[in-house]
Amino acid sequence: MGANVQQGAASGGRRGKRRKGRAKPMSEINVTPFVDVMLVLLIIFMVAAPLLTVGVPVELPKTAAEALPTEAEEPLTITVQADGQLSIQNTEIADADLIGRLRAVAAERADDKVFLRADGSIPYERVVQVMGALNRGGFSNIGLVTDTGGPALDGSDG
């Protein structure tokens, strides 16, 4: 003797029937494509970020100074390598041609800011000579580039 449940007129009668014609709209957002795109962009930026720095290898001295704020225009960078070789951005240049090139660049630029990257092992005299050439070339706003985290004069480490 089995017990059967009977649906009568009072119980609705439509409970087991499907709707025909209209599908129920899906109310969930599919985030998988969004996550895929974000991961691809993350990988692209992780690979591209180290390539954006100036490509001349220099062992910069370490100081406790804070970084300078960045500008809208790409800064002009002069590099003095450990062997004394000079470079404007990534282009090596002879000492005799430096002032002439700097004057030509200064005529085209709106900003007189220049960053000087000098290897920590070269003599101070060489750095000052390059700074004098930068001044004669039309650049009076000179920023010295260093690595952060070095010792401070009060004996503490950066």
- Residue 119 sits in a domain whose CATH number is 3.30.420.270
What is the distance between the alpha carbons of residues 133 and 124, in angstroms, rounded to a whole number? 14
80 vs 31, 63, 97, 114, CA distance in Å?
50, 18, 14, 13
Residue 15 lies in a domain: no
What is the distance between the alpha carbons of residues 77 and 154, in angstroms, rounded to a whole number? 30
What local confidence, expressed as pLDDT, does residue 54 receive? 55
Residue 55 lies in a domain: no
Residue 158 lies in a domain: no
Residue whose entry in the numeric block shows the structure tokens 């030509």:
104
What is the distance between the alpha carbons of residues 158 and 153, in angstroms, rounded to a whole number? 10
What is the distance between the alpha carbons of residues 61 and 144, in angstroms, rounded to a whole number? 10
pLDDT in single tens digits along all 158 residues of the chain: 555 555 555 555 555 555 566 778 777 888 888 999 999 999 998 888 877 765 667 777 777 777 666 656 677 889 999 888 998 888 899 989 888 998 988 888 877 888 999 988 889 899 999 999 998 988 888 888 888 777 777 766 65
Residue 2 lies in a domain: no
Closest CA relative to residue 66, chosen from 154, 146, 128, 5: 146
Tell me the two tokens of residue 108: 């085209």
Residue 70 lies in a domain: no
pTM of the model: 0.54
**Pairing mode, if any, of strands 86-88 and 76-80?**
antiparallel
Residue 77 lies in a domain: no
Tell me the two tokens of residue 80: 């003095």
Residue 17 lies in a domain: no
Q: Which domain range does residue 109 map to? A: 82-146
Residue 117 lies in a domain: yes
Q: Looking at the 3D structure of the chain, how many domains does it have? A: 1
